[in-house]
Each structure stands twice: as structure tokens, then as C-alpha cells.
């Protein structure tokens, strides 16, 4: 096949949220290292800083897109839906301008699955496009399945405890209640968004931030159903480092970790979107205190509805744990997870946190909040067997017991062994000759072929 040597620009379209920005910028770095020039098209909200880490990238902003106050007023799902309506015209304008200024040097537009508005411009200018999934392959399978269910009867099933505890047909070991429904909106609007995200339209391929050693059967399912090549090239955080924290990292926690015993600390973080009721936070605080294990706790300002930050923690708790606990607003998570003092990760099980924890061989306490996190939590506990899932109401006794199981008991040591084994497999998959490394090479080669579209 004839090679096209001139088209070396890749346009990236990230969702303006931490969990999506991080992997797409890592993908940008991976593709840059293969010789492509990278243009990142941003919305006005949550701009990725064009810091020194990305000084070789070119940044454009879609005119007239939504702002931070729109996200607060609308909530994530309505925000995404509206963002897709609003950005369509502005994105066409951006691409038109790019083509005018640079000539048509665009090898392809890689858009986050939730930024499906990109397809209108791609169609108009007849550009190749690729859908990038920042969640797990299994979550993608679930969204595909959910996009075909009848919303009304699915809702009835979910409300019936006898059904919601059952394994969903064809998705073992996921139960109805593990499917990626969302705390952020009514089922109908979620299913509508899912139908849009799994509709690949004219995309020529799908890239997934996952790897076959974690999700072989889900990847095979997608490869069968989607009828375009599926490239699992993850975990991207191992393949290509791209620091892209949208919040300021408090590095003082690393000094604190330096003073703790090997494998003794439980690290707690619920990512960039999850919320926690005051009642649950207090149960957690007392459970941690009673566990007698040291803990590093990220409490993101605004993550406890009705509180600015930690004011609902009592003075008594603060006094009790001042020796043993450390609380920050945002941590350098990768450095924390690879610190030898960290023995376990209490997580909401966002896909990035899941990959990062497995990538450091750290077992997890899984307390999913919404969406794909429930899928990941079930896989952590039942498929990879490196996590303890906490379900139902949270009380201090359950928290204390979970920390003991993970950090102190033999059960935790077994989970750690399995996590380290998976860590080695992940590292091998992104090394030369590994499945993800080859998959990235295959994708890059496909871009050079004239018939890519």
C-alpha cells in the first residue's frame, strides 16, 4: 500500500475533566514520540496548561464553549450533552482554521468517546478519525449493552433488590448493580449519552487505554462488535509520562510517607469527581483511627457536600490521628502509589486510579461512587482478585476491618502478590514486543496507509 508521508498532525479532543485529560495527554506524548505533531483542541472550561511538559504541542480553544459555572449548574451528564451541542460549530471553525493555516497535514482526529461532536467536522472536512476510550474495555462493552436496553424495564430491574444482585446475562461476573449507571443523572439521559459514545460513526478505529492481560475477553467482544480495528495500547501512564494535574499537588505528603514503615500506609483518594456524604466521611475517619494503621487521605475541597473542606472532622479525631494520619487537598498520586510505605489504596476505582494502582502492585479497597467505577471495582475483587469491595452503608467497624484485611492479614499479602504479578505483566505489555507496544505500532503504521479512511 502507498504510504502518505506528509500528514503528520494528530488532533486530540479531550473531555475537560482530569480522568480524561490525563490519558489523552499521555496518548499525545506516545504519538509525539513516534514523530507526529500534536494539536490539542480544548474547551474553555478546565484548560490543560500548555506547561513546559507540553511545550511541543499546539493548543487551540473552541470558541464559545461552556464554562466551570455551567458544570456546577448542570451536573456532569447534562454538561456533557450540552457541550456536545454547543461545540459542534466551534470545533468545525477550529479545524477549518487549522486546515487553512497549516494545509491539510492532519493524519487523524483522535477524540474522547464523550466528545462525539467532533464527528461533524471530521465528516465535513473528510478527515480520518479515531475514537479514544479512556475507560476500561469492559465498561465500553457495558455501555454498548446498556445502549440497547429498554430504559423503563431496566430501571424496574435495578430497583428490585432480587434482580439487581443477579449477574447480568452475558456479562459475568458483573451484576445488574455493577453496570455503569450514574449518580449524576436520570437513567434515560445516561442511556442517551451512552448510545452516542458507543456509536463510532465514521471513526476508522478505536484506541483503548487497556491491555489484553487485563481484559482479553472484553477486548475480543469489542473487536467482534465494532467492525473496525481496536487498539489496546495501555496502560498509557507506563507507556508515556505526561504530568497533567489540573489541581496543585501537595508534595509535603511524600516527606510524611518517608517517615512511615514499609507497606504500612493506606492511601485514600476518590479521584476528581466523586462526592462523599459527611456521615460517611465521619464513619471512615473513625474506622481509620480505630484500625491503628497510618493513613494518607486526599480530601478534595468541595467533595463533601455542605463543607468547604475538613471542617466536619472533630477536634477529637484530629488530635487522635495527628501522629498517624496526614490529610491533603490533592496528592502527587503516582509518586504516592510507588512509595514503599504505601501498602494499600482506598479508591473510588476510576479507571486511571485502577491502572495506576495495579501498575505499582498496590492492592485496593474498592468503594465505587458512580459509572464505570462500579465495573472496575467488581473486576478488582472478582476477576483480578486484588481488591476488597465495600458495599452498602459504611460504618466504622467495616472500615476498620477492611483496612486490617488489606494491610495486616494474610489475605492482603496474597492480594499484594497477585497485584505485583499483574504489575509485571502490565510493564511487559508496554515494552518492546509486548501486546500494547505492538498495538501502538500497528496503529501508527495504519495511519501511514493511504486507505486508512
- Name the site residues for ligand UDX (rule: CB under 6 A): 17-20, 22, 134-135, 245, 269, 271-274, 298, 330-331, 333-334, 350-353, 356, 372-373
- What is the C-alpha to C-alpha distance for residues 82 and 86, in angstroms, rounded to an integer? 6
Q: What is the enclosing helix (H) or strand (E) of 266?
A: strand 265-269
- Min dist CB 331 to ligand UDX, Å, is 4
- Min dist CB 43 to ligand UDX, Å, is 16
- Nearest Cα to 298, choosing from 323, 274, 263? 274
Judge contact between 269 and 245, C-beta under 8 A. Answer: no
- Min dist CB 381 to ligand UDX, Å, is 16
- Min dist CB 276 to ligand UDX, Å, is 13
Identity of the residue, 94 or 208, whose beta carbon is nearer to ligand UDX in the bound complex: 208
- Min dist CB 264 to ligand UDX, Å, is 20
Identity of the residue, 196 or 400, whose beta carbon is nearer to ligand UDX in the bound complex: 196
Kindly tell me the sign of the dihedral angle through the C-alpha atoms of 42, 46, 50, 54: negative
Q: List the grid coordinates of 18.
A: 482530569
C-alpha 54: how far from chain center? 21
Please state, in angstroms and as integers, the Cα–Cα distance from residue 280 to each residue in 9, 90, 393, following that order: 48, 42, 8
- Min dist CB 322 to ligand UDX, Å, is 21
Identity of the residue, 36 or 326, whose beta carbon is nearer to ligand UDX in the bound complex: 326
Q: What does R_g of the chain's alpha carbons equal in angstroms? A: 22
Identity of the residue, 204 or 245, whose beta carbon is nearer to ligand UDX in the bound complex: 245
- Min dist CB 256 to ligand UDX, Å, is 14
- Min dist CB 453 to ligand UDX, Å, is 29
Identity of the residue, 36 or 79, whose beta carbon is nearer to ligand UDX in the bound complex: 79
Judge contact between 11 and 39, C-beta under 8 A. Answer: yes
Strand intervals (E) in 270-403: 295-298, 325-328, 342-347, 364-366, 387-389
- Nearest Cα to 342, choosing from 260, 402, 399, 272? 260
Judge contact between 321 and 247, C-beta under 8 A. Answer: no
- Min dist CB 119 to ligand UDX, Å, is 21
Alpha helices in 240-341 (DSSP H): 252-258, 278-291, 315-321, 333-337
- What is the C-alpha to C-alpha distance for residues 360 and 438, in angstroms, rounded to an integer? 22
Identity of the residue, 121 or 331, whose beta carbon is nearer to ligand UDX in the bound complex: 331
Identity of the residue, 135 or 389, whose beta carbon is nearer to ligand UDX in the bound complex: 135
- Min dist CB 427 to ligand UDX, Å, is 18
Sheet containing 9-13: order of strands: 58-61, 37-42, 9-13, 106-112, 129-133, 205-208, 230-232
Q: What is the enclosing helix (H) or strand (E) of 111?
A: strand 106-112
- Min dist CB 17 to ligand UDX, Å, is 6
Identity of the residue, 95 or 285, whose beta carbon is nearer to ligand UDX in the bound complex: 285
Identity of the residue, 291 or 333, whose beta carbon is nearer to ligand UDX in the bound complex: 333
Cα within 13 Å of Cα(331), Cβ side: 27
Distant-in-sequence, close-in-space partners of 159: CB < 8 Å, separation ≥ 6: none
Identity of the residue, 11 or 298, whose beta carbon is nearer to ligand UDX in the bound complex: 298
Identity of the residue, 118 or 354, whose beta carbon is nearer to ligand UDX in the bound complex: 354
- Min dist CB 46 to ligand UDX, Å, is 12
DSSP, res 263: T
Judge contact between 411 and 417, C-beta under 8 A. Answer: no
Virtual torsion, Cα 362, 367, 372, 375, nearest 10 deg: 80
Residue carrying the nine cell digits 479521584: 271
Identity of the residue, 90 or 234, whose beta carbon is nearer to ligand UDX in the bound complex: 234
Amino acid at each position: 500500500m502507498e504510504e502518505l508521508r506528509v500528514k503528520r498532525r494528530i488532533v486530540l479532543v479531550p473531555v475537560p475533566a482530569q480522568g480524561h485529560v490525563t490519558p489523552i495527554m499521555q496518548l499525545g506524548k506516545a504519538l509525539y514520540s513516534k514523530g507526529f505533531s500534536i494539536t490539542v483542541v480544548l474547551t474553555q472550561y478546565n484548560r490543560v496548561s500548555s506547561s513546559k511538559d507540553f511545550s511541543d504541542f499546539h493548543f487551540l480553544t473552541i470558541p464559545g464553549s461552556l464554562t466551570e459555572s455551567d458544570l456546577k449548574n448542570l451536573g456532569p451528564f447534562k454538561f456533557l450533552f450540552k457541550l456536545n451541542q454547543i461545540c459542534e460549530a466551534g470545533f468545525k471553525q477550529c479545524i477549518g482554521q487549522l486546515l487553512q493555516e497549516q494545509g491539510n497535514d492532519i493524519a487523524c482526529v483522535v477524540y474522547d468517546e464523550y466528545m462525539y461532536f467532533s464527528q461533524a467536522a471530521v465528516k465535513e472536512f473528510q478527515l480520518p478519525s479515531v475514537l479514544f476510550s479512556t475507560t476500561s474495555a469492559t465498561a465500553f462493552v457495558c455501555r454498548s449493552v446498556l445502549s440497547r436496553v429498554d430504559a423503563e424495564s431496566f430501571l424496574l430491574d435495578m430497583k428490585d433488590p432480587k434482580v439487581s444482585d443477579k449477574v447480568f446475562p452475558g456479562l459475568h461476573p458483573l451484576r445488574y448493580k455493577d453496570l455503569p449507571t450514574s449518580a449524576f443523572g436520570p437513567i434515560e439521559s445516561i442511556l442517551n449519552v451512552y448510545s452516542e459514545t458507543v456509536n463510532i460513526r465514521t471513526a476508522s478505529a478505536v484506541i483503548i487505554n487497556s491491555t489484553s492481560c487485563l481484559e482479553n475477553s472484553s477486548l475480543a467482544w469489542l473487536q467482534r462488535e465494532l467492525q473496525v480495528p481496536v487498539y489496546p495500547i495501555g496502560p498509557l501512564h507506563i507507556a508515556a509520562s505526561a504530568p497533567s494535574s489540573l489541581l496543585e499537588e501537595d508534595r509535603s505528603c511524600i516527606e510524611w510517607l518517608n517517615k512511615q514503615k514499609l507497606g504500612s500506609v493506606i492511601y485514600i483518594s476518590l479521584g476528581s469527581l466523586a462526592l462523599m456524604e459527611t456521615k460517611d466521611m465521619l464513619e471512615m475517619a473513625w474506622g481509620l483511627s480505630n484500625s491503628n494503621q497510618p493513613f494518607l487521605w486526599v480530601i478534595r475541597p468541595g467533595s463533601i457536600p455542605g463543607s468547604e473542606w475538613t471542617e466536619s472532622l472533630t477536634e477529637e479525631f484530629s488530635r487522635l490521628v495527628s501522629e498517624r494520619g496526614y490529610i491533603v487537598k490533592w496528592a502527587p498520586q503516582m509518586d504516592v502509589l510507588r512509595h514503599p510505605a504505601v501498602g494499600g489504596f482506598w479508591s473510588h476505582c476510576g479507571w486511571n486510579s485502577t491502572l495506576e494502582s495495579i501498575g505499582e502492585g498496590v492492592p485496593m479497597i474498592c468503594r465505587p461512587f458512580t459509572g464505570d467505577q462500579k465495573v472496575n471495582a467488581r473486576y478488582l475483587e472478582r476477576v483480578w482478585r486484588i481488591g476488597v469491595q465495600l458495599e452498602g452503608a459504611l460504618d466504622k467497624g467495616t472500615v476498620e476491618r477492611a483496612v486490617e484485611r488489606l494491610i495486616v492479614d494474610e489475605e492482603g499479602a496474597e492480594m499484594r502478590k497477585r497485584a505485583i504479578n499483574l504489575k509485571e505483566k502490565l510493564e511487559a505489555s508496554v515494552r518492546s514486543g509486548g501486546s500494547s507496544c505492538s498495538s501502538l505500532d500497528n496503529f501508527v503504521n495504519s495511519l501511514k496507509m493511504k486507505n486508512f479512511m
